[in-house]
Structure 1
Amino acid sequence: MIAQLETPTVHSPCQPPYTVEGLVQVFTCSRRTFLTSVMAQALRVSGQGTPALIVQFLKGGINQGHCHPVKLGQNLDWIRCNLPRCIDTPQLDESENRSLQELWQHTRQVVSQGQYSLVVLDELSVAVEFGLIPLAEVLDFIQNRPKHVDVILTGSNMPQPVLDVADQITEVRRSHQM
């Protein structure tokens, strides 16, 4: 896992010589796609003993929900919306919107409690673009997360304010024509 190290100007026997601050990483692509490299990073980090969480906001179809996370090993939780379908439009019925909001609130809560050191928010930019999750809440989440938490945000059309606070931006694009 990548992290920034800061060296304090004053060392005391009670303070460690450095603190680890988590990074905000953005992986964006012009189309909706599953970013295998991001998932591989979460698997690798969790396999090394670091608690990780993958949240897929727009994926449904398996009636999972935040109450029934998939446990991949001891340190990786994977949660999705409790929906019978994947979200591909901003028009949601009341139960779909409630499920998405419950997932977002659950994510904010467990991250603020420091349960995870790596959090992947898959297709969050699309949820923001659809108006399902307010951009202001996303920025607040990033700013107020525990400082040691690495956050990876994925999706197409990442909002500029998110890009402005990112430590690393990776744009995935095709280098050939199909």
Structure 2
Amino acid sequence: MQIETPPSEKPYEKPEGERRGLVIVNTGDGKGKTTAAFGLAFRATGRGKAVKVYQFMKVPTARFGEHRLSEQVGLPVEGLGDGFSWKSRDLDHSGQLAREGWEKAKAAILSGDYFLVVLDEVTYPLIYGWLPLQEVLDTLAARPKEVHVCITGRRCPQEIIDVADTVTEMTMIKHAFKAGIPAQRGIED
């Protein structure tokens, strides 16, 4: 480890641009995409902002840790899918659920009623061909100027990365699951 001297001066200048809604992308093969999106959603909720989370792959009855806390703090989370694609009995139905969910999410984004709309795991319906990429891009471009949108999922299409304001790629360096340790409730649920 290299020891560093803490900065004694502010390492950046305050930006002079206008405040506006951002497109934020959390992508990559590492852990933390949804976790980061929920952190953002909880932060905005804590500031009294209107937030809506759409989970494109989770079932509406999911009861993971983030759902339990969301209920406690009044953060609306809506599962739109039918779970992991490899568990689906009907991929055509999975695609239909994604399209129906997208209509809800699109309406929420364009309504201007929300400070932040999270599109959790929306990259999967996009890369599976269940959602039209251009429609998502058009919606991001047409959203009211104060609306923030956070997109999560592996293999985010480059076209979304190109229009995003902030993109973070989670890179897996090491993961307990790869070492044979099962998922832990409260850590990976």
Equivalent of residue 163 in structure 2, options 162, 165, 174: 165
Equivalent of residue 135 in structure 2, options 134, 137, 140: 137
Other structure's SS at 2:73 match: coil
Partner of 2:111: 113
Structure number with higher helix proportion = 2
1:4-153 to 2 correspondences below 5 Å: 5-6=17-18, 20-30=19-29, 35-60=34-59, 62=61, 71-74=71-74, 76-81=75-80, 83=82, 85-88=83-86, 92-94=91-93, 96-153=94-151
Note if contact 1:29-1:173 (Cα within 8 Å) is conserved in structure 2.
yes
Equivalent residue pairs, number: 155
TM-score (norm 2): 0.71
TM-score (norm 1): 0.75
Offset from partner CA, 1:115-149 (integer Å, 9 cap, x none): 11111111111110000111101101110111101
Q: CA RMSD in A?
A: 2.8
Shift of 1:86: 3.4
CA distance in 2 between partners of 1:43 and 1:129 (Å): 28
CA distance in 2 between partners of 1:29 and 1:123 (Å): 11
Note if contact 1:32-1:156 (Cα within 8 Å) is conserved in structure 2.
no
Taking a change above 3 Å as real, the CA distance of residues 42 and 63 of structure 1, as seen in their structure-2 partners, is: closer
Other structure's SS at 1:93 match: helix
Note if contact 2:30-2:170 (Cα within 8 Å) is conserved in structure 1.
no
Other structure's SS at 1:45 match: helix
CA distance in 2 between partners of 1:157 and 1:60 (Å): 22
Partner of 2:182: none
Structure 2: segments with no counterpart, 5+ residues: 1-14, 64-69, 180-189
Taking a change above 3 Å as real, the CA distance of residues 34 and 172 of structure 1, as seen in their structure-2 partners, is: closer
Shift of 1:48: 1.2
Residue type of the alignment partner of 1:73: V
Structure number with higher strand proportion = 1
CA distance in 2 between partners of 1:98 and 1:176 (Å): 35
Offset from partner CA, 1:154-176 (integer Å, 9 cap, x none): 11111111111111110111234
Q: Percent of counterpart pairs with the same letter?
A: 32
Other structure's SS at 2:91 match: coil
CA distance in 1 between partners of 2:62 and 2:166 (Å): 33
Offset from partner CA, 1:29-82 (integer Å, 9 cap, x none): 226865312211211211110111111101116289xxxxx75524x2111116
Residue type of the alignment partner of 1:164: D
Shift of 1:112: 1.0
Other structure's SS at 1:21 match: coil
